[in-house]
Amino acid sequence: MFLSKKLILVVTLLSNSFVSINSFALDFSSKELAFSERYLPSTIESSESANIVVGALIASQLGRTEVLNKLYSRGNKLEVYDKLWIDQVIKACLIYKQNISCNQNLLIRKLRAKDSTNALPLVYSALFKSEQNELSAALKDLNEAASLTTYDDYYWKRFSLLLEKLKQNNYPEEHLYTASVKFAHNMVMQPYQEIMNLCNKQSKLSLEWRETCIRLGKLLEKKGNIFFANMVGFALQREALKIDDNDAQRLRKVKDDRETLNQWRVNAVKTLDFLEAQKKAPDSYYSDLVELGERKAIENALKLYRASHKEHNKAKQ
């Protein structure tokens, strides 16, 4: 199971820098396109929320607007309130302003009820409010978001669901993980870009915004579930701290910590050849991605690798 060079580049950039995924249009293989043609029609009539979510992810990634609109209507009719579905609809409202039911306040309340320790719903709320120029309310949301304990953008949960559904539909094993990664990328970057834009602008105008964005950045650095979230966390802190020369020491620490984490991942990639999807990883790695996030999953995988090699070397003696 191998990724294209372009997709490997996207995955690497996802982990290491602040870059728009729209700069790197993913190429979909004939197998992926054929699967979507076969699978998508069944999702339009499905009563299973997981099928509707997966259908929307695939249709959105492939730009199948007609199918996507039918799926949004289907989800609304069936009152689907799965976390991944709510997240998908919120992002569609926020990013593409698509012609769907966009009661964002209701959607965000429902997402918060299902994921009360996750800062993501409050970040969504702040972004919507900033669009309406309700900046005091947006700042209040970000303050509350920064005080929470997790930041999960559901990337690995989307990947896991796609993996399950593609397996169920007899997707070729050797291409299974590649396809799941590519379809899971749907709208992953844009909310991060939006919060960067908002914080960078407002931090220059207000000390309160500046400190709030630094706190939010620290949360993403420590608790973001994908490496890109960690890197955005460093960027939020860096851009806010460089405004004031008196923060030079704090700024240097943020830059050093970012470089340390980045180098740690570079070294991990050299050790664990499955990190950039060059081969299938141990099953425990995928479950850790969903439950613990990318950094902890890699930490655990490195521990397993070292333990395995220690046993191997002991057996050779």
Q: Mind giving me the DSSP string for 237-297?
A: HHHHHTT-GGGHHHHHHHHHHHHHHHHHHHHHHHH-TTTTTSSPPPHHHHHHHHHH-HHHH
Residue 224 pairs in a beta bridge with 151
The pLDDT of residue 3 is: 39
Q: Residue 273: its pLDDT value, please?
A: 85
Would you write out the chain's pLDDT as a tens digit for each of its 317 residues?
333 444 343 444 444 433 333 334 578 999 999 999 999 999 999 999 999 999 999 999 999 999 999 999 999 899 888 999 999 999 999 987 755 668 899 999 999 999 999 999 999 999 999 999 999 999 999 999 999 999 999 999 999 999 999 999 999 988 888 899 899 998 999 999 999 999 999 999 999 999 999 999 999 999 999 999 999 999 999 999 999 999 999 999 999 999 999 999 999 999 998 887 657 788 899 999 999 999 999 999 999 999 987 766 666 66
Q: According to the model, what pLDDT value does residue 1 have? A: 34
pLDDT in the model for residue 81:
86
Spatial CB neighbours of 111, under 8 Å, sequence gap ≥ 6: 83, 86, 87, 90, 120, 121, 124
Report H helices in 45-102: 49-62, 65-77, 83-91
| HSE (side-chain half, CA atoms, 13 Å) at 225 | 23
171 sits in the region (left: phi over 0; alpha: psi -120 to 50; else beta) called beta
Would the CA dihedral through 126, 131, 136, 139 be positive or negative? positive
| Structure tokens that stand for 316 in this block | 């050779």
Residue type, 237: Q
Number of other CB atoms surrounding residue 167 within 10 Å? 12
Here the tokens at position 61 are 């990634």
Put simply, whether the predicted model's pTM sits higher than 0.95 gets the answer no
Determine the Cα–Cα distance for residues 277 and 272; give it in Å rounded to an integer.
10
Give me the pLDDT at residue 192, please. 96
Q: What are the backbone angles phi and psi of residue 117, rounded to the nearest 5°?
A: -95, 0
Long-range contacts of 270-276 (CB under 8 A, 24+ apart): 271/302, 271/305, 272/298, 272/301, 272/302, 272/305, 276/3, 276/8, 276/11, 276/12
Cβ-contact 4, 179 below 8 angstroms: no
pLDDT at residue 13, as a whole number: 40
How far from the centroid of its chain's Cα atoms is residue 17's Cα?
A: 14
- SS3 (DSSP) at 148: coil
Residue type, position 98, single letter? Q
CA distances from 230 to 223, 225, 298 (A): 7, 8, 14
Each residue of 64-92: b (16+ CB within 10 Å) or e? Answer: beebbebbbebbeeeebeebbbbbbbbbb
- Residue labelled with tokens 């947006």: 138
